Amino acid sequence: MKDYLFLILMMLSLLFVLFGCSTVDDFPAKEGGSKAVIVFGFTPGPYSDQVRQGIEPLLKEKGYTVKYVEFSTPNEPNFALAEGSLDVNIFQHTAFFENFIEENQLDLIETIKVPTAPMGIYSDHHDNLDHLQDGFTIAIPNDPANVARALRVLEQVGWLELKENYDPLTVSRQDIDSMIVNFSFVELEQVQIPRAIPDVDFAVANGYTIIASNRELDSSLFLEDPPFEYQNLIAIRAEDQDQPFIQDIIEAYHTRDFQEVIESNKEFEGFHQPDYFK
């Protein structure tokens, strides 16, 4: 019995020593304190590579650990951010983001733009845009924000005309005023479009889905110059906008070091560069 009591006392003494000698750095940061780990969310594509190559090294210098979570579809990362599984996500443009958070009543906000892979027109059957014919099939995304974007791309190349005074964020096929020939649309989830390129005459695809499918942006027949609403962004919870870790992420994106990573890496050739690049 005495041996048993002695063993308990020894264990209590050891715990006292361990916890009594520990510092705040030995434990995870508490809510409201400095943040040790930043969790980024992405869909497949180049935006996680931008962070790994150009942002993570700068955040590590400030003492952060960066973790990555990849989602298979664009319908997941905003929910994960809203419920706290992520600290930021980077995968979407403003039009998609605003439509999504309004529909789902999420308290998320946009911070800054990031270098963005443009939407483009691709084909495995045609090497130019000059010979569009009746009966041709054109694949476009099926979500409202990217339907609008694809139609504006097709208007830019002269394949259709949209009605005057359309809303650029909500334009749909009902806003088509005329088409130069009687082609047909094949609407697909945006991540499926690169796989459909062999099966249609032309496909209008988001740049990140092209890169994720091991195609190159410069294999396109046309690349857009994306307006503000179609440039990709960093999304965060509204409650975090003044947190130091958010300001450190923004500062990292504004560095010359990050800009040089984007400008010197072949993976990011053809990307639209944000206004803060000089």
Task: Tell me how far apart the terminal alpha carbons of the chain are, to the nearest angstrom.
Answer: 77
φ, ψ for residue 72 (rounded to 5)?
-80, -25
Q: Which position has the higher pLDDT, 11 or 102?
A: 102
Q: Which of 57-61, 141-145, 209-213 has the highest mean pLDDT?
A: 57-61
Domains of the chain: 37-116+229-268 (3.40.190.10), 120-225 (3.40.190.10)
What is d(CA 238, CA 191) in angstroms, rounded to the nearest whole number?
A: 28
- Chain segment 134-192, per-residue pLDDT in tens: 999 999 999 888 999 999 999 999 999 999 988 877 889 999 999 999 999 999 999 99
Minimum mean pLDDT range among 14-18, 24-28, 171-175, 254-258: 24-28
- Chain segment 77-102, per-residue pLDDT in tens: 999 999 999 999 999 999 999 999 99
What is d(CA 243, CA 155) in angstroms, rounded to the nearest whole number?
A: 42
**Which residues in 55-64 are b (16+ Cβ under 10 Å) and which e?**
bbebbeeeeb
E-only strand ranges, 94-143: 108-113, 120-122, 137-141
pLDDT, residue 165, reads 86
pLDDT, residue 271, reads 95
What is d(CA 266, CA 253) in angstroms, rounded to the nearest whole number?
A: 19
Minimum mean pLDDT range among 28-37, 108-117, 179-188, 268-277: 28-37
What is d(CA 231, CA 141) in angstroms, rounded to the nearest whole number?
A: 17
- Residue listed under structure tokens 């088509």: 176
What is d(CA 16, CA 139) in angstroms, rounded to the nearest whole number?
A: 67
Q: Under a CB-based contact definition with an 8 Å cutoff, are residues 163 and 177 in contact?
A: yes
